[in-house]
Amino acid sequence: MSRFPVAEMHGIHAILYALFDEQERLDRAAMRRQVEVCLSAGVHGMAALGLATEVSKLTEAERRTVMDWIAEDTGGRVPLALTIFGSSVAEQIAQVRHAESAGADWLILQPPMVGQYGAAEYIRFFGRVAEATDLPVAIQNAPAFMGRGLSSTEISDLVRQHPNIQLVKGEGPVVDIAGLVEATGGKLPIFNGRAGLEMLDNLRIGCRGLILAPDCIDYAVAAYDSFRAGDEDGALATYRRMLPAVVSTMQGLENLLCYGKRLFALRTGLTVHDRGPALRPNPTGLAMIDRFAADLGPLQRRTIA
């Protein structure tokens, strides 16, 4: 069972990058450092094995390893979400079982990345996996990145059929997310992503928070905390500091994995080693990231001025 009630989950949750060593193996020390800096930045939750974690490049054993590492390093200090990736119901349920044993507080189900099917087939798939666990479950709805998704009405129907599907992880424009808020009567906690694009407007329409890669996570936390305290001017001022980097890195998933990860590394003293196939940086992109890192400064918990 989850240690954190869904009704209390909110804020900025970090979705971790997969960090590799020179041999393209998962780097234990770098992954631990990533969790440490995110917790020090004041994140309200931790997550792993989503698109930012390059989950499709990881073997099943590596996915389980990441679950174990992140759970150990988070240590129950904030809610932990683990994304469930797999091409079949059986494969996803096996991942669910390991996530449960590792200590996940909630799960995010990705649609199977095989074939293209109608909504009814995905609804059945998600429902069968959700029925296999007592943990709170979210559906990852990211059609722009995954080529598969459900409409707001279909998600609402799925939630009614399966009571433990209690959240949605979105990856869409705020105008689309607003439709989902309306379709669910504002009763379904929604966490958007997209690196923080339209962050404050997502909060204004009723999103519970955002799940973001960690390159600008300290600024996102500071902006969120200001917004929640009623200081929208302060939130906007902080958000404006991170926005140029967000716009630059969020030109697509591969761009985020190439340049967003390098921005995070520059701000934390880490080194990036890609696991191929990967988008390789060019001098123009690296120069931009250098400027963003210099402007944002080291990633740490502090008052953003």
Q: What is the pLDDT of residue 145?
A: 56
Looking from the CA of 42 toward its CB, the CA atoms found within 13 Å total: 16
pLDDT band for position 131 (50/70/90)? very high
Q: What is the pLDDT of residue 153?
A: 78
Q: Which residue has the higher pLDDT, 141 or 56?
A: 56
- List the single range of 196-200, 202-206, 301-305 with lowest mean pLDDT: 301-305
Mean pLDDT for the chain? 93
Q: What is the pLDDT of residue 52?
A: 95
User: What token pair was written down for 69?
Assistant: 């590492």
**Local structure of 273: helix, strand or coil:** coil
DSSP class of residue 12? E
pLDDT (tens digit per residue) in 150-161: 777 788 788 888
Q: Is residue 305's pLDDT more than 70?
A: no
What would the DSSP string read from start to end of 44-101? SEEEESSGGGTGGGS-HHHHHHHHHHHHHHHTTSS-EEEEE--SSHHHHHHHHHHHHH
% the chain with pLDDT above 70: 95
Average pLDDT over residues 292-304: 83
Q: Which residue has the higher pLDDT, 182 or 62?
A: 62
Strands 137-141, 190-192: pairing kind: unpaired
Q: Are 185 and 151 spatial neighbours (Cβ–Cβ below 8 Å)?
A: no
From the list 192, 187, 36, 54, the residue with the least C-alpha distance to 113 is 54
Average pLDDT over residues 167-191: 88
Q: What is the pLDDT of residue 304?
A: 47
Backbone angles phi, psi at 231, to 5 degrees: -95, 80
Average pLDDT over residues 79-108: 97
Which CATH superfamily hosts domain 6-296? Aldolase class I (3.20.20.70)
Q: What is the pLDDT of residue 158?
A: 82
CA 268/CA 242 separation, integer angstroms = 16
Structural domain boundaries of the chain? 6-296
pLDDT band for position 205 (50/70/90)? very high
Average pLDDT over residues 215-232: 98
Q: Where are the alpha helices (DSSP H) in the chain?
A: 28-40, 60-74, 89-102, 119-130, 143-146, 152-161, 174-183, 199-204, 217-228, 232-249, 253-255, 261-268, 283-296
Please report the sign of the dihedral spanned by the C-alpha atoms of residue 222, residue 39, residue 263, residue 142: negative
Q: What is the pLDDT of residue 187?
A: 81
Looking from the CA of 211 toward its CB, the CA atoms found within 13 Å total: 33
Q: What is the pLDDT of residue 147?
A: 56
